């Protein structure tokens, strides 16, 4: 009964658009109690513009986030920021240092900032990121900015959650080759070469353009923007590129496909989480080292009412955004 009273009070404050209610709602989601809450507010979601910002550690993502927030506020938008920090593999704690670079926005009542620890979650985002974004959307926030841990071959999940993905790169660090070959070319809607005052900035821009010329894009062709986030240089141009991508999504109807992909991704992650817990319990209870791994896997699948051959059927291929010319 007390939990129902707590939910009713939280929903009432949420409807009154009290920021503390949004903070509590996200905490509920992080603690695994978000299902009933989201069930009540889900119908209000679907209006916010979600932006994913990813890139290698040290590229200046947090400074760039602060500059984007400043620009969004200058045009009258309310903003929610989800900053995902890397966490200790032992304690699962995190420094949450992104807040240090967003201090100028703390006193703004129309900016909501939430830091999350990744807690080992692959994909560059925290496990509760999708819930947090959904709750911010339902709360009525206009722009939701999700800053990931850092980018790598396993850290491109942000493209599934956000309607547009900004990939920030830093001149002089080898990013143009090492990062772009890690699947990033396919997820970037906008490339941002930050620290544009660096002597190698123009070289990086040429390398990205050269790589893009090797690909055939279906639909949106990624834009390339040069910025210096500390001084604000290039932020207006970046916002114009974001607005152009919003217009493209709305004009082509692709915004609905983006929302559907985000929905499918979240459902898949929730289902996989439950299956993972069930699988862990099953393996602890029935692990038989006398069997070979394939036979043991087959036995577990039979416990779940599946046969091994079903694992490879009906796989939904990822939608290719770019292909190499001539192939």
The dihedral sign for the CA sequence 107, 71, 238, 45: positive
Q: Which residues of 148-164 are buried (b: 16+ CB within 10 A; e: fewer)?
A: bbbbbeebbbbbbbbbb
Q: Is 308 left (phi over 0), alpha (psi -120 to 50) or beta?
A: alpha
Output the pTM of the full model: 0.84
pLDDT at 89 over 50: no
Determine which helix (DSSP H) or strand (DSSP E) holds 212, and give its type and residue range.
helix 201-213
Cα 312 to chain centroid, rounded: 28
Token digits of residue 238: 């970046």
Band of residue 1 on the pLDDT scale cut at 50, 70, 90: very low
Taken as a whole, the chain contains a residue count of 327
What top-level class would CATH report for the domain 46-253?
alpha beta
pLDDT at 227 over 50: yes
* d(C-alpha 22, C-alpha 135), whole Å: 7
Backbone angles phi, psi at 175, to 5 degrees: -60, -35
What is the rounded end-to-end Cα distance, in angstroms, of the chain?
Answer: 62
* d(C-alpha 183, C-alpha 168), whole Å: 14
pLDDT tens-place string over residues 50-85:
999 988 878 888 899 999 999 999 999 999 999 886
* d(C-alpha 87, C-alpha 170), whole Å: 23
* d(C-alpha 236, C-alpha 101), whole Å: 20
CB 31 within 8 Å of CB 40: no
In the prediction, which pLDDT does 123 show?
42
Closest CA to 112 of 85, 93, 131, 135: 135
pLDDT tens-place string over residues 118-133:
544 444 455 688 899 9
Domain locations in the chain?
Answer: 1-44, 46-253, 259-324
Kindly state the percentage of the chain with pLDDT values over 70: 75
More confident residue, 284 or 102: 284
pLDDT tens-place string over residues 142-170:
999 998 866 554 456 777 888 999 999 88
* d(C-alpha 201, C-alpha 211), whole Å: 16
Task: Using DSSP, state whether 114 is helix, strand or coil.
Answer: strand
In the prediction, which pLDDT does 133 show?
93
């Amino acid at each position: 009964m007390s939990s129902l009273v707590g939910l009713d009070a939280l929903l009432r404050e949420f409807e009154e658009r009290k920021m503390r209610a949004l903070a509590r709602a996200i905490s509920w989601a992080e603690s695994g109690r978000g299902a009933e809450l989201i069930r009540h507010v889900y119908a209000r979601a679907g209006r916010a513009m979600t932006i994913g910002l990813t890139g290698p550690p040290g590229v200046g993502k947090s400074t760039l986030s602060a500059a984007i927030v400043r620009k969004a506020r200058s045009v009258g938008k309310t903003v929610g920021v989800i900053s995902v920090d890397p966490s200790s593999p032992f304690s699962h704690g995190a420094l949450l240092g992104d807040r240090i670079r967003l201090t100028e926005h703390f006193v703004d009542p129309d900016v909501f900032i939430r830091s999350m620890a990744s807690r080992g979650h692959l994909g560059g985002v925290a496990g509760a990121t999708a819930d947090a974004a959904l709750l911010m959307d339902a709360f009525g926030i206009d722009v939701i900015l999700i800053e990931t841990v850092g980018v790598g071959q396993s850290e491109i999940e942000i493209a599934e959650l956000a309607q547009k993905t900004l990939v920030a790169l830093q001149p002089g660090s080898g990013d143009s080759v090492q990062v772009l070959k890690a699947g990033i070319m396919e997820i970037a809607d906008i490339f941002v070469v930050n620290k544009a005052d660096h002597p190698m900035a123009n070289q990086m821009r040429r390398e990205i353009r050269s790589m893009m010329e090797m690909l055939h894009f279906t639909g949106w062709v990624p834009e390339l923007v040069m910025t210096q986030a500390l001084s604000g240089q290039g932020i207006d141009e970046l916002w114009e590129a974001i607005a152009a991508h919003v217009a493209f999504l709305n004009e082509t109807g692709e915004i609905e496909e983006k929302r559907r992909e985000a929905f499918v991704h979240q459902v898949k992650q929730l289902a996989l989480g439950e299956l993972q817990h069930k699988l862990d319990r099953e393996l602890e209870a029935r692990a038989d080292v006398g069997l070979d791994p394939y036979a043991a896997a087959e036995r577990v699948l039979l416990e779940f009412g599946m046969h091994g051959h079903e694992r490879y059927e009906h796989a939904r291929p990822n939608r290719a955004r770019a292909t190499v010319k001539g192939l």
